[in-house]
Amino acid sequence: MADGDNAIPVEAWNTVLFEKFCRFRFVLTEGLSDHSDELLRRRPYARGARVLDVGCGFGDTTQVIAGQIAPEGEAVGVDCAENFVTVATREAADAGIENASFFIADVQSDDLRGPYDAAFSRFGTMFFNMPVVALRNIRGALRPGGELSMIVWRKREDNPWIHEAELCVRDIVPVVKHEESEAVHCGPGPFSMASADMVSDMLQIAGYERVRFERYDCDICIGRTMDDAVDFAMALGPAGEIIRLAGEEGTKRKDRVIRALRKTFASYQRNDGVWARSSSWFVTAHNPAS
């Protein structure tokens, strides 16, 4: 692997993380769609536009965008993981959507098949080893004046749905750093774009102008039952990564972790499931017009 390339995260997204995303899809896509529905309501795409969906995963946002821009517009989903692209392609076809297509590429380094009027991403831009290089590559695929809108997590403390689970697991399981582990990992991680100052610098260095941040908060369902919520926390997000990278040490402490997570999540239990606060940035930036 060359320094800065995404070979390890790409393998992780196509294997262990793909499997976990399939298992917890109901939490991920249902929970996350509140954020994307709000952004796509505030800033709908115009009929006829050509829009790239970056790190599209299962392609549900690509399908929503395809609906907004139909019938002449084209929604194009890109993801580094072949397994996500296969599911996204099949599901869009099954839904009878004719103006959505998908391809496999590493957004940091590959040709993104532009030009696009706009690029969109729901939580798909936080895992690049070289984010400025990736953001510049996305800009290169936008037409002059084209807009990037990305949804990224704000700071950990305002996202107790994953942060509290992480704190709880850190107390019990020894933390193994990515560089100390043989296991594949997701890349920089869900909070790598939480700092508006840092991300606005990155975007400017990548050549964007008119950078804007809007905050969005909502409760998300992290499990229909307490068991679901605990399983989810142990499998995904920073808590799940700590357990997985700790290997046997993580497995040995599983029962203690389960008890601690149940206690942590107790205050989030409602009649209709386990719900916790989440908070994102809607970041928009433009490719200069000329």
Q: Is the torsion defined by CA of 227, 229, 232, 234 positive or negative?
A: negative
Could you tell me the smallest distance in angstroms from the CB atom of residue 278 to ligand SAM?
A: 13
Question: With binding defined as CB under 6 A, does residue 29 bind ligand SAM?
Answer: yes
Choice from 81, 118, 150, 165 touching ligand SAM (CB under 6 A): 81
Question: Taking the complex as a whole, how short is the minimal distance between the CB of residue 266 and ligand SAM, in angstroms?
Answer: 27
- Among residues 108 and 260, whose Cβ is nearest to ligand SAM? 108
Residue 152 Cβ, how far from ligand SAM at the closest point, in Å?
Answer: 10
Identity of the residue, 99 or 129, whose beta carbon is nearer to ligand SAM in the bound complex = 129
Q: Which span sits near ligand SAM by CB under 6 A: 80-88, 152-160, 224-232, 245-253?
A: 80-88
**Of the two residues 31 and 260, which places its CB atom closer to ligand SAM in the complex?**
31
β-strand partners of 220: 276
To the nearest whole angstrom, how small is the minimum distance from the Cβ of residue 42 to ligand SAM? 17
Out of 31, 57, 114, 240, point to the residue binding ligand SAM (CB under 6 A): 57
Q: Using the rule CB under 6 A, which residue among 55, 73, 237, 240 binds ligand SAM?
A: 55
Smallest distance, ligand SAM to C-beta of residue 115, A: 19
Using CB under 6 A as the binding rule, the residues of this chain from 116 to 155 that contact ligand SAM are 122-124, 127-128
Q: How many angstroms separate the CA atoms of 2 and 13, rounded?
A: 18
Q: How far is the CB of 277 from ligand SAM (least distance, A)?
A: 18
- Specify the residue, 124 or 172, whose C-beta has the smaller distance to ligand SAM: 124
Choose, by CB under 6 A, the member of 27, 51, 52, 56 that binds ligand SAM: 56
Whole-angstrom distance, CA of residue 133 vs CA of residue 118: 18
Residue 6 interacting with ligand SAM (CB under 6 A): yes
Q: Which stretches of the chain bind ligand SAM, using CB under 6 A?
A: 6, 9, 13, 28-29, 32, 55-57, 78-81, 84, 106-108, 122-124, 127-128
